[in-house]
Structures are given as C-alpha cells and as structure tokens.
Structure 1
Amino acid sequence: MDSVLVKKLDVNMLHDHPSKKVWIRKRTIITSTIIICLIICLFGFMVNLKREETILAINNLQEPLKPNGMLQSNSIQADSRTQYLSSSSSDTHQEDHLLPLLPGQRTRPPNFDGVISDDSLVDSLQMFANRAPFVHHSIDAVTSFDVTCAATTVVKLASPADYEAIHVGDTLHYIIEAKDSYGRPRTIGGDFWLGALKSPHLIAGTAAKIIDHDNGTYSMYLTAGWKGDAMLELTLAHPSEGVHWLKTTYKYGDHLPIWDGEFQLGNAKETSKCYLMYDSTWNNMCEYQPKKALKHTKFVCDKPFTLPCESLAGIRGASNFPGEFSRLLPTEKRVLFSGEHLYKNVAIPHGFINIKERTDNQFTIPKDTLQLPLCGPDLPSPLSDGYWYNGQWNSLVCDTKQTYNKASAIQCLEHTNVVFTGDSTTRQWFASLAKLLDVGHPEDHDRSFFLERTLAAPDINISFVFHPLSTHPKPIFVNMSQVRFEVDIILDSPRYTCNNVIVVSPWAHFIMWPWDAYVEWLTHIRDAMIEVKRQCPELKVVIKSPHAVNKQTTMKGRDFMFKEMMHAMREVFQGSGVMFIDIWDMDYAYPAPMELHMPDEVINQEIALFLSYLCPENMQLSLIPTSENIHLPPTSENIHLPPTSENTQQPETSEEQMQLFKNVKVE
C-alpha cells in the first residue's frame, strides 16, 4: 500500500518537474511559429498569383507594346494610329472623312480570333489599362524623344486605293505619319505643314488642306483638278515644339516696334525714337492718340529737344522682324528654327502621279457639275479652295469668273467708289484694276502712299491709301500727311456716296505689333463698318487675307504668324457681313516660287476673284482672253527704284499731317 502511494507521488512530482514545463512551453511556441509562417506563405502566394493574373490580362490587351505605344498583335489586327472611325460628313469619297483614334483611346476591334470573347472582361481591362499614368516607350539606345523629322516622316495614299486609278475630280487623301529622327512615330500633333500638287508645265496646281488629328498623324487632302502629270510636295515648316513657342511665347511676347520719328518745323529738323505702347505708362514723351482706330494702344515718341510734338512729319521703321524674332528667341529654342527643323521637304514615294481624264473625257472639272454658291460673306471652307490650270484660277469656294475685260469691269463698278487700304500687296490690286480700266500709270505705282484714278463717264473712282504705323524691313520714310487709318476711311466714306467698296489688308506690316494691339485694331475696323452700315447698307467691306511669303531662313516663323493673323481676321469679322477673300491657298498653289509680291498673272486672277465677290449675279465676264486683259510682265521702263535721299522730298509739316490723331500731348 505504501509502495503504491509512493509511486503515485513520484509520478505527480515528475509532471511538476521544472524541465518538463519548459519543454511544453517551447513546443507551444514552435507550433505557433509554424502556423504563422504557413499563414504568411499562403498570403504571399495569393498576392503573387493575383499579380501574375493582372500582368497576363494587361499583356493580352496591349501585347506587344511598341516604342510608340501602338497596339499591334496577331490576334488584334488594328493600329491605334491608323484605325479610323466613320464621320457623319459626306463627300465623293466617304473614306476621306475618317478620323484616327486619339492617343490612349481604345476600342475593341471586330476580330479577336477567339483570344478574348468576354465583352465585360474586355471593358474592365480597358478601364484598368487607361488608369496607367504613363505610356511606356523603349528603344535599344536610351534617348529622349526627338522633334518631328522630315527625313523619316512617312506619307501614304489612303484613297483612291490605287495610284493608277486617279482621275480628274478625285479628292486625294494622304496620311502623314510624323516620325522623329530615330524613326519613332510621334504621338502628339501641332506640326506646321505646307503641301501642294503642281504641274509647272501646265501652269497648274492646288494647295493641300491638312487636318491635324493631334496624335502624330495628319490627313492631307488635294483635288485632282486637271489631266496630266503632277508632282506632290510636302514641307515641314515647323515642328510642333517650335509652333508651341510661336503660339505661347512669341505671339504674346513683349513686342516693341520702334520707329525714327522725324520732326520738322520750317528749316528746323529733329529725330527721336517712337514706340507703340499697349496699356503702358511713360513720362516726358509725345503721345499721339489715334482718333478711333485704337483705344488701349498709343503711339508715343521721345520728346524732341526744341521742336513741339505737333511737328511730327513722318516716321521710318527702325526695327525689323528678324531682329525682333532673334531678340525674343531663347538660346535653347534656336535649334527648333534651324537646320533640319526649318522648311524641309518630305520624300514621298509615288510623289509623281499621272491624273487621267474623266469618264466623260473632260480634262478639268466641269463647272456645271459643282453647284457652287454665289460669292459673298461667310462662305464655308471646303476641303479645297480651288486649282490653277493653264494660268487660270478655278475656285471651289464660290462661283467665280476666271477672266475679265474692261467692259465687264465697268459694268460691275459703275457709280462706285473703291478704296484700297493697306500695304504694297493691296497696292498691286489697285494697279491691276487701274490698268484693266485703262486709267493706270505704272510709273507711279511703286513706293506710293496715296494714288487715285477716276473714270468719269461710268462714275468710277478708285484710290489707294497706305496705312500708318506699319513696320518695314527697310527704313522707308512714311509721310504722315499721305496715310490714314482704315477706321477713319470707313467712317468718312458716306460723305459723298453710300456706294463704297473698301478693301482692307491687315497683315504684312503688323507682325511685330503686340498681339492685343493687333486684335484691337481689327475690332475697331469691324465696329466702324457696322456703324456705317446703319446709314449706308450698300457699303461693302472686303478683307484680303495674308498669304505665305517665302522660305527664307531670315524670316523664321513669319508664315506661321501670318496664318495666325488670318485666323484672327476670320474670328473678328465672322458674321459681320464682310467679304473675306482668302488667297492663301490660291497663291501657294501657283507653280512658281513664293514671294511677297506675287507675279501679275496671280494678281490679275485675284482681281477676277474680287470682282466676282462684288458682282456675283449680274456680271457677265468674257471667257476669251484679249489684249485688254493680258498684262505684260514688268520691264525696266515701268519699274522705278525705291526712293533715296536724292529723289525723296520730305514735305513741310501741314495741318493735315496731324489729322491722323485726335490728341497730341506731352506726358
């Protein structure tokens, strides 16, 4: 009995032994640790599995992702840069109105070859992919993206599908795929292109309309207006980075056009600097406030030492566009306006094409098939403004007459006062019309600031008035007694008759003006016209548009700024009843080098367009060229040299010189 009791006590003592308790605690800790490790491993496995599923889903959507971010795979036969959606607009070729998808925009292609069939899964993956903050780009060499390069840019014919199937009347649709110097497709738009289709031997040509899809691709449209061989040309004037600087910095830059003001009173003469100020303040300067042409913009001159402010006789331009452009262009941006980034031609495969005659054997587009509207205000802009053929302009904007003679011009302008205001390009219009009416004297057309001709019997008066405060590339003396603001001419026009036609050409001499001052100037012209039309509804105001000038590297950015001015004109005068004559495409399409002063053959056709706008219904123009409407090229007999110090007389100051301005005061 005692032995059994002792054994039981020994067993109980064994269980309570300290070493046993330690072992039990260790076993509990080890077991808990193992369980925790298993839980962590299981959680990690699930996270990794979810990650792999996500990567696989994205790869199925975007595989393979090229450096340009395009979607190209065997299962998805589509390209986000060349996939097109039908437009609601209609035309002879409906595919010409197809627009590419924007960067990052994704749509499920019609054929997936069975790879993905669940629409809800596709939509959810698209939503997930669009949340990515960046588009991945990679190439073998680590470089930054370059600007658009003309040498690597690709041009493809979209329609017609076959180069051998181009006929008279077809609208050619090309796709421009902009690429950088490494051959990588650009994914942004904004490049400034100039394109045309020309046949110099046929004196034929048409300008391209280029639509920016804002994703690195552009649609270029041209009209095949004539039968024969033609050469397609495309020029990269400025890459988008240069255009961005022009739009945001140069356009609204701190422009300060400068003139040399020449003061004269009797035999005393003085010269001081003059400036155009917009919403500025100054001290001890002569201020000249235009009557109604400008409000926030003032013309001011440094006060002469002895002569009064009222003795200002004239001004000479003391600043020029190349110098102003260079002053505002920062060093790091100069590469955008030089070398391969400035007016470079694009090599186009199959750029030499042959246009075949129509099925009805017509060599040009028959006018009776076009159903064009009559010329007038607020006309829509078609895909093509027209085309040249055999030296005549065929408008596709409105129904015009290509040729004219003295009798038909008199019929149109009888009992009318025509005033051409503006620069030397408008003076070319005056000279052409004066010659057509047989009242012109070519010897005084060059470098003249005021010209007037009268045809008494039909009661026709035509005149040219130069606009003041213009900037010139050369220091030409502008006599303040011979120039007037357009606003003043419009407001004074009803003094003798309401049958007035006033032509305004507000562009070539204003590229160095502060942009707000330029828009203010346009706005006051519009307001003056609206005011006079209340009294004289017969008043006709014609806006003559700018045109591309040339490709001289000394005039960087000028053509683009002229284009911006044209957009401003359209915006300011839209719906006001003015007749906007757009000659940009007309002049660029002419198969000859671009110049500020286009040849007489072009000016004569511009005058035919002008007369068609003035008299759209009752004007019966001759369709057969005669000796009256063929202009001989200028010769040494009718070209005068610019005025020099020997042949230019500076007139005495008169009261008329100060009539340009309402107030003359010293600040």
Structure 2
Amino acid sequence: MHLWGVLCWHPQDLITCQMSNKRVQASKDLPVRHFKGYKIVIVGSVIALSILYFRVSWPERSIPRPPVPHPANKSKRPLSQGLANLTHLLYWPATPGDGGNLLASTSPKTSTYYLQGPVQARYALGTYLKAILVARDHWGRPKTYGGDLFRAQLLGPTLNTGVPGDVQDLENGTYLLSFPLLWAGRAWVQVRLIHSSEAVGVLRRIWRDHWATVDFTGYFRGPTGYEETVTCNVNPLFIGGEESTCRYKDEDSGELWFCAQPRTLPCNSLVGHSAGHYWNVTTLHEDALMAGNVTDKALPRGIPAIWVDKEGDKSLVSSPQQPCHPGIPVPKPSGFYHQNIWHSLACSGHSFPTEDSILGCLAGRIIHMMGDSTLRQWWEYLCGAVSSLKPVDLHVTYQVGPLMAVDTTRGIVLHWRAHSWPLRSLRTPVASLHSVARELGGLAGGPHTVVVLGLGAHFTTFPPSIFMRRLAGIRAAVTALLAREPRTLVVIKLANTGYKSVYGSDWLTLQVNRLLRAAFAGLRVAFVDAWEMTSSLALPDSIHPGRLIVRNEVDLLLSFICPS
C-alpha cells in the first residue's frame, strides 16, 4: 500500500495531474468537478484530487481499482504487514476475453468430476478421498482456464453430517478436490458451481468500475421537527461531487462518512440513518451470467457413494486434546459436522446442550458483541436458550440495537451493538452507530470480559480497500486492548455464506474473510470459522443460518470462554 500525493492544475487548455512522479494530461474539455474547494478531473478511469489517498496494488488490471480518495487521516495507524500485500491475499485467476458468449461460460450441467485413482471397495478412516473436476462450457467443451468458484462437500448418511472439501484451482480448466474421511460409514461427494469464472469476471468489473453498489439515506431534523432526507455514502463522489457535502469523522477510528448538504438544515442536524438504494450496475448479459439457473447449482453426481471403515472401535477421527484458547492455528478444514454436532479440528470443543451448562460458563462474565445481524443471531440464541437472561428495553430499533440482556443473580451481562456505517438497516438513530474502534477503546478488559467481533457482510458492496481501512482501526484498538489487559478474550466471527448476487456474492465474502484473517494475524485472538460452518451441510445457504448452525457456532464460542 502506497501513500500518493495528487495535485491538479490547468495551464491554459490542459489539465495536468501530478501523481507521485508521474504526470498525466487531458483536454480541458474533460469533466471537471468541484467539491469542498478541491478540483477534480476525470482522465479515462483516473480520478485525481488535490488530497492524499491510499492506493492498493493489484496483481493485474482485471482486479478492482481502489476507490476515489479520502482526505488523509494523519492519526491512522499502519495496517498489518499481511494486509499491505493485497497482491497475495486477493489473487484470483483472471478470465480471458470479455465473457461475451453465455454458452461459452462454465455450465453446472456439463462440468464433470471423477476419482483421481481407482475406485476402492473400502476406505480407511483418517485418509483422504481425491478427485479431479473438469469445468466445461454449455456445449460440453472442457475449459482451458480457471477462476470458477466451486464448492465441494463430503456428506454423510443424514443431512446433518458433512465436511467441506478443498478445491484447488489448477488454472487450466481442471480442479483438484480433496476430502478428509472423518467418520466411518457411508459418504458421498457433492459439488456445486457457485459462480462461473465469467460471473466472477462480472464481480471483478463491478469492483473496478463501480466503487459502490449501494447508497444510504441520512435524516436531518431541525428544532421545529422539520426533516430533510439526503443521500449518504463512504465517499463524497458517490453522492454528487458538485454538491455541497457534509463530512463526518469518527475521531477514534478516523473513519469518514459523507452526506449531501440538506437544502435548509445544517450538517450537525443529522439524526437518522438507513439503507438507501441498490444501484443498477450490470448489463443484461451480465445478469444472465449471474442468473439462478447457473448460480449455486449442483453438478451431476460423478462419484458413487463410498464406504469408510472404522479404525478399531473408533467411528470418528478424534478431536485435538488441547483446550480451545486464543492464538491456536486454525487447520483447513477447521472442523466437521456429525449428527448435528460440530467437531473442531483445532481444539477440543464442547457442547452446551442445557440452560445450566450455558449459565455455568457465562457466570460472572460481560460479553460485548459488535458486528452485523449474523452476530445478533448469537445474542438472540443465548437469550432464547437461557430463560434467566432478561433483555433490557433500551427503546431503540430492534434491528440495529444496541441490545442488552442481564442475569443479575449470576452476574451475566450480554451486549450486542451493530457496527457503524456502512450499515444496510432500517432507520436508526445516528447516536446509536458507534464505531467498533470507539467501543473497544472504552473497555478496560480483564479475565471476565469477552469481545466478539462479526464483520464482513455489509462491506461486500464496496471494494476491499474500504474494509481494509476499517480493519486497520479495529486491529489497532484490539492490539491496545490486549496490551492493557492480556486476559481479555477476543473472538473473531468470520463472515458466512449466503449471498449470491452482485451486491453480496459469496465470492466477495471469500475475499473479505481473507482480509479478516490477515488483519488479526499475530494477535492472540480466537476465530470461529462461520464460512465453513455454513458450507459443510446439504442445507440451502442463508445469510441468516438456521438454529442448528447458530447453536454450534455459539457452542464453539463458549468452548473458548470455558475451555475446560
């Protein structure tokens, strides 16, 4: 990541932009906008401002460019070294050509897979099953390049047994599938095409050419109760650079937010926030590549069911003996389901099936949950599973919180708060939208304090640099919290599957999770891999998974809180 200075001027008939040590020129007839005293010139796809901005290096032209510059924040702390190397983190094979012919795109009906070796009558517990997948177009012709997003699973005799398979893109139209054999008995392979490489190309184009795919609404109120609504977003150009703009800065995180200037009311009269509009960012051909008949579709079964033998009297691969604690490495896969129960392959997780077992773990603890609605599901599950946890009426919109439940007898306090904008939500008071960095900065921490962060779902409508800036501030706040009180438990919930559109595709979520892992690498935090926990079973994907999955996610959280 590089910090570049940009300066524009216009001697006579040319506009010149000095960018680092490079200079570009364009005719003065090209669009020039003014905003907050800055002159903006658009040269092809180059937008220059007389301010500083972060530039992200991408491995190739087909990967999205960074968003329009933000004013510099001198107090911003540096990103982790892993985050700085986006070339490595966000690499994905390119799709050659423009994907103009739908029939030449990858088809879930004609793509095939088969065992890498000869079929065996029986397989040994703890070994691997390997297969080769051949991506084919709608004519049945093998593809010659990679970039498809396939999901592979090994499933058991009921809907509630399964493990995610590893899919290795060989970048020549073939993929290596690998499945650990973790339970004895019958098992079979299922492969789904989530997005063709051509559909992934659509997502990359939107990242590159549309620095946002949604906007938001700001509600301003005067002293007499008169209200005005305007468009808001993370960048002033998303709301019309020629208009006067209201600028809001969170002093704790350095995050910036912009709203169009109301017609009569001042900027400091902003009182409410909500989701706005979804922008039309695709062509008809791109809509066809993302359509339901080719998205998230199962391939014809290519491997017959197999039989896995027991090992002695063992019917399951044993979980590790080490207790669950922050800082442990997370293997791939991180675990598997067997008869409704998630078995961690990183540590010895536990089940908390009764109200008393949950109460015994949470007694004397304050749990701070900060994130999106998939994390709010954890709060709701705990309140539903424990009758003595009484929600406190805070007179706020239920969707966005803040929410609190307490058990005064056992000294349990359970908080949930939505992360700040960008937040697609019903109308909510701006005063309720505290940044995660600000909340973390106000915590003393300690052995009875648990912090759970769930981020990702609301950032897929923006390029990754927006999410990186948010993660930079949160990582710094987590680092400071653990420095002042190392006994604080911090748990990171990865984003789960569920979205299948240009506004929140699983492919985008996959990139978000890569950044999440990198942002907290090297810190003594725990991870709950919600991506794998929502992609291991033969259940329909949902951005808000069902109770079975939520229960297992919460059980893993409790295993970190109460490892013994």
| 2:129 and 2:179 in contact (8 A); partners too | yes
Specify the SS of the correspondent of 1:169: coil
Following superposition, the deviation at residue 208 of structure 1 comes to 1.6
- The Cα shift of 1:570 comes to 1.1
How far apart are the structure 2 equivalents of 1:182 and 1:303? Answer: 54
Aligned pairs for 1:352-391 (under 5 A) are 353-365=305-317, 367=318, 370-371=319-320, 373-391=322-340
Map of 2:76 onto structure 1:
none
SS in 1 for 2:201: helix
Find the counterpart in structure 2 of residue 462 from structure 1: 414
Unaligned stretches of 5+ in structure 2? 1-100
Q: Is the Cα–Cα contact under 8 Å of residues 499 and 539 in structure 1 kept in the other structure?
A: yes
In structure 2, the residue matched to 1:286 is 246
Aligned counterparts, 1:475-490, within 5 A: 476-490=426-440
Contact 2:235 2:258 in 1 (8 A): no
More strand by share: 2
Which residue of structure 2 lines up, in the alignment, with residue 452 of structure 1? Answer: 404
Decide whether the 8 Å contact of 1:468 with 1:483 is kept in 2.
Answer: yes
Q: Secondary structure at the match of 1:418?
A: strand
Q: Residue 545 of structure 2: SS of its match in structure 1?
A: coil
Displacement, 1:400? 0.9
Residue pair 2:105, 2:197 contacting (<8 A) in 1 also: yes
Given the alignment of the two structures, is residue 149 of structure 1 paired with residue 96 of structure 2, yes or no? no
CA deviation vs aligned residue, 1:258-302 (integer Å, no higher than 9, x gap): 22212224542322223223486665222211222234xx22222
Could you list the per-position Cα deviations for residues 376-428 of structure 1 after superposition, in whole angstroms to 9, with x for gaps in the alignment? 44544434322212211112232211334444444544443211111221111
Pairing 1:59-458 to 2, within 5 Å after superposition = 146-158=104-116, 161-199=118-156, 201=158, 203-247=160-204, 249-250=206-207, 253-255=210-212, 257-278=214-235, 284-295=244-255, 298-320=256-278, 324=279, 327-330=280-283, 333-338=286-291, 341-351=294-304, 353-365=305-317, 367=318, 370-371=319-320, 373-440=322-389, 447=399, 449-458=401-410
1:65-124 Cα shifts (integer Å, max 9, x gaps): xxxxxxxxxxxxxxxxxxxxxxxxxxxxxxxxxxxxxxxxxxxxxxxxxxxxxxxxxxxx
* Partner deviation per Cα, 1:337-357 (whole Å, 9 max, x = no partner): 236642232112334x14344
Equivalent residue number for residue 539 of structure 2:
592
Does structure 1 conserve the Cα–Cα contact (< 8 Å) formed by 2:132 and 2:177? Answer: yes
1:384 is paired with a residue of what secondary structure? Answer: coil
**Aligned residues of 2:231 and 2:276 also touching (Cα < 8 A):** no
Do the aligned partners of 1:431 and 1:440 also contact (CA within 8 Å) in 2?
no
Write out per-residue CA displacement over residues 28-58 of structure 1, whole angstroms, 9 at most, x where no aligned residue.
xxxxxxxxxxxxxxxxxxxxxxxxxxxxxxx
Tell me the residue number matched to 1:501. Answer: 450
Q: CA deviation at 1:520?
A: 0.2
SS of equivalent to 1:275: strand
* Alpha-carbon spacing, 1:373–1:462, altered in 2? closer, same or farther (3 Å): same
Matches of 1:534 and 1:155, distance apart in 2: 50
Residue 572 (1) aligns with residue 519 (2): yes
Paired position in structure 1 for 2:4: none
Please tell me whether the aligned partners of residues 122 and 306 of structure 2 are also in contact (alpha carbons under 8 angstroms).
no
* Aligned residues of 2:376 and 2:416 also touching (Cα < 8 A): yes
Which shows bigger deviation, 398-407 or 521-530? 398-407
Are 1:531 and 2:480 an aligned pair?
yes
> Within 2, Cα distance between the matches of 1:591 and 1:446?
31
**Following the alignment from structure 2 to structure 1, what is the Cα–Cα distance between the partners of residues 208 and 348?**
36
Aligned to 1:512: 461
2:252 corresponds to which letter in structure 1? K
Seq. identity, %: 24
What code does the residue aligned with 2:414 have?
Answer: I
Q: 1:150 to 1:372 in 2, by over 3 A?
A: farther
Report the 3-state secondary structure (helix = DSSP H, G, I; strand = E; otherwise coil) of the residue aligned with 1:481. helix
Measure the CA separation in 2 of the matches of 1:383 and 1:500.
29
Q: Distance in 1 between matches of 2:209 and 2:368?
A: 32
Structure 1 residues not aligned, in runs of 5+: 1-142, 620-667
Alpha-carbon distance, 1:446 to partner: 5.5
Stretch of structure 1 that moved more, 437-446 or 503-512: 437-446
CA contact (8 A) 1:272 1:303 kept: no
Q: State how far apart, in whole Å, the 1-side matches of 2:175 and 2:446 are.
A: 50
Do the aligned residues in 2 keep the contact of 1:272 with 1:302 (CA within 8 Å)? no
Contact kept, 8 Å, 2:447 with 2:489, in 1: the verdict is no
Q: Which secondary structure does the structure 2 equivalent of 1:464 belong to?
A: strand
Distance 1:550 1:283 in 2: 34
Superposed displacement of residue 569, structure 1: 0.8
**Is the 1:449–1:482 Cα contact (8 Å) retained in structure 2?**
yes
Q: Is contact 2:114-2:303 (8 Å) kept?
A: no
Distance 1:372 1:480, change over 3 A: same
Matched to 2:231, the amino acid is C
Residue by residue over 1:168-223, the C-alpha shift from the partner in whole angstroms, topping out at 9 and shown as x without a partner, is 43422111122233433323221101122234636212222211122222121223
Whether the 8 Å contact between 2:124 and 2:309 is mirrored in structure 1 is yes
| Structure 2 CA distance for partners of 1:432 and 1:482, relative to 1, 3 Å | same
Change (3 A) 1:500 1:251: farther
TM-score between both structures, scaled by the size of structure 1 = 0.63
Cα RMSD after superposing both structures:
3.1
Q: Name the one with the larger helix percent.
A: 1
Q: Which deviates the most, 526-535 or 405-414?
A: 405-414
Query: Is the contact made by 1:449 and 1:483 (CA closer than 8 Å) also made in structure 2?
Result: no
Alignment partners' CA distance in 2, 1:493 and 1:252: 40
Question: How much has 1:550 moved relative to structure 2?
Answer: 5.3
Q: Which amino acid aligns with 1:482?
A: S
What's the CA shift string for 1:290-318, capped at 9, x where partnerless?
222234xx222222233332222211211
SS of 2:216 mapped into structure 1: strand
* Larger Cα-atom Rg: 1
Deviations 1:538-593 (A, max 9, x none): 22222111111155xx5676111111111111122211222221121111123322
- Number of paired residues? 459
Q: Deviation at 1:228? A: 4.1
Q: TM-score, normalised by structure 2?
A: 0.73
Contact 2:404 2:414 in 1 (8 A): yes
SS in 1 for 2:171: coil
User: Are residues 336 and 606 of structure 1, via their aligned partners in 2, closer, same or farther at CA, if it must alter by over 3 Å?
Assistant: same
Check conservation: 1:200, 1:592, Cα contact below 8 A. no
Letter in 2 for 1:477: R
